[in-house]
Homo-oligomer: A and B are copies of this chain.
């Protein structure tokens, strides 16, 4: 059961807007605009590496120092109350785009939590070729 109506001027709508600005300012290296979206005590987690970054200043540094000519594009934004989800297309330089997913929590217009996944490709297990097609 949703608590909010995700329309303009309400918390759900704010979450969607914050999530869209989160990726747009990041892609633009608009560091002032990006960090203005973050709560001072934001927590960023990467469950795949079991890494955690605490606090806006440290997370800003983490992103500013992130190596490579990385680019992010929002493929889908889903927002519901305090929860926003970003399905991202990510690439480094001229590499092919890969998928990433970020779950954001937005409270009073500020990002308090980000949990991010970077799923890598792998070969399908044998035994289901009769049910699947490949692309």
1/0 contact trace for A1-24 toward B, CB 8 Å?
A: 110111110001100100000000
Q: How far is the CB of A53 from chain B (nearest CB, A)?
A: 6
Q: What 1/0 flags go to A121-135 for Cβ under 8 Å of B?
A: 111100110011111
Q: Is A40 an interface residue (CB 8 A)?
A: no
Shortest distance between the CB of A92 and any CB in chain B (Å): 12
The oligomer's copy count stands at 2
Q: A78-B78, A117-B101 are in contact. Are A5 and B8 (CB under 8 A)?
A: no
Q: Does A99 contact B (CB under 8 A)?
A: yes
Question: Given A99-B47, A122-B48, A132-B52, A13 and B7 touching (CB < 8 A)?
Answer: no
Q: How far is the CA of A85 from the CA of B16 in the complex (A)?
A: 14
Tally chain A residues at the interface, Cβ within 8 Å.
Answer: 50
CB–CB B51/A132 < 8 A: yes
> Which single residue of chain B is at the shortest CB-CB distance from A128?
B62
A-B contact pairs, 11 of them (CB 8 A): A1-B13, A1-B16, A2-B7, A5-B6, A47-B119, A48-B119, A49-B123, A50-B135, A51-B128, A51-B133, A119-B120
A-B pairs with the 8 shortest C-beta distances? A2-B6, A119-B119, A49-B124, A117-B119, A51-B132, A85-B85, A78-B83, A78-B80
